[in-house]
């Protein structure tokens, strides 16, 4: 499958798990437009592929991604950026997938790399991963949601300091501050952990998984009372699914080998 792409690799490391590995090693996985087009295409295909139930986005041991491609952006003008709505394309596919995504971050996750990791549903990293929003050093600011998502994850105090100073923070700090769900001591452990979690998710009803992802993500958009109402409505809707009957009957009958319909 991977052969159609030049900047990413595809694999299925476990049953139901699709993995996309960013693969521009010479540029520390700098996120060029061709790379992003391929990433979006692969994400869309995995989202539609019934053999994939959870998606991992990974980089190399040295770099998840060192940011947007600075060499590509260097000569961009306001009129080109505005008329092409530069960067908007980045987040539309990944944030509109139905299936859950796990970002597995090792090494650098800077600028657009940090922003990409924050677009995933779950963020795992190595303890010495290097996160940051260094755009200020280039005379610009985060442009792919960094200022908004970092604040929601770690609060204004720390996010403001990081964005204004451009200083990096470690994977360990990312976990302590609530940006990362878990840290791992090595790249190998990270990839094993991400695959393990993706496999657990892949073993559940896809209907329930997609509903869970959707309601959790809505919490970032809606006021609490609206979010709670939305959650309750989706919860009600699942009683119209076969998988609710299958799951609850299996519990009542003490069956552990559950065959979900979705």
Residue 122: strand pairing partners: 102
Residue whose pair of structure tokens reads 């303890």 in the numeric block = 127
Distance CA 36, CA 32 (A): 6
**Between 90 and 124, CB nearer to ligand HXC:** 90
Binding range to ligand HXC, per CB under 6 A, among 2-10, 92-100, 135-143, 172-180: 135-143
**Between 100 and 111, CB nearer to ligand HXC:** 111
**Between 62 and 232, CB nearer to ligand HXC:** 62
* Site mask for ligand HXC (CB under 6 A), range 12-41, x = bound: ---------------xx-x-----------
In the sheet with 169-170, reading across from the earlier edge strand, the strands are 63-65, 108-110, 130-132, 169-170
35, 68, 162, 198: which one contacts ligand HXC (CB under 6 A)?
A: 68
Contact 46, 56 (CB under 8 A): no
- Among the listed residues 16, 59, 112, 171, the single catalytic one is 112
* Residue 238 φ/ψ, nearest 5 degrees: -65, -15
* Site mask for ligand HXC (CB under 6 A), range 76-95, x = bound: -----------x--------
- Helices first, then strands: H and E counts in the chain: 12, 10
The residue at minimum Cβ distance from ligand HXC is: 111
DSSP state of 239: T
Q: Is 68 a catalytic residue?
A: yes
Distance CA 207, CA 209 (A): 6
Q: Is 212 a catalytic residue?
A: no
Residue 123: strand pairing partners: 103
Residues that bind ligand HXC (CB under 6 A): 27-28, 30, 66-71, 87, 108, 110-112, 134-135, 138, 142-144
**Which residues are annotated as catalytic?**
68, 112, 115, 135
């Amino acid at each position: 499958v991977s052969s159609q792409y030049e900047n990413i690799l595809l694999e299925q490391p476990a049953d139901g798990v699709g993995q996309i590995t960013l693969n521009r090693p010479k540029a520390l996985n700098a996120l060029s437009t061709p790379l992003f087009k391929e990433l979006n295409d692969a994400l869309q295909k995995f989202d539609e592929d019934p053999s994939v139930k959870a998606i991992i986005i990974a980089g190399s041991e040295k770099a998840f991604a060192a940011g947007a491609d600075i060499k590509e952006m260097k000569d961009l003008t306001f009129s080109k950026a505005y008329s092409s709505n530069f960067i908007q394309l980045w987040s539309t596919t990944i944030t509109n997938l139905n299936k859950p995504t796990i970002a597995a971050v090792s090494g650098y996750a800077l600028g657009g790399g940090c922003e990409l990791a924050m677009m995933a549903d779950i963020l795992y990293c190595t303890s010495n991963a290097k996160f940051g929003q260094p755009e200020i050093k280039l005379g610009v600011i985060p442009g792919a949601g960094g200022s908004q998502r970092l604040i929601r994850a770690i609060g204004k105090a720390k996010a403001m300091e990081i964005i204004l100073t451009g200083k990096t923070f470690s994977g360990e700090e990312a976990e302590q501050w609530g940006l990362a769900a878990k840290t791992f001591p090595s790249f190998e452990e990270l990839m094993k952990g991400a695959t393990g979690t993706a496999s657990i998710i892949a073993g559940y009803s896809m209907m329930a998984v997609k509903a869970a992802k959707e309601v959790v993500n809505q919490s970032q958009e809606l006021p609490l009372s609206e979010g709670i109402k939305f959650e309750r409505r989706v919860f009600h809707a699942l009683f119209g699914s076969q998988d609710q009957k299958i799951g609850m009957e299996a519990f009542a009958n003490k069956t552990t080998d559950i065959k979900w319909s979705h």
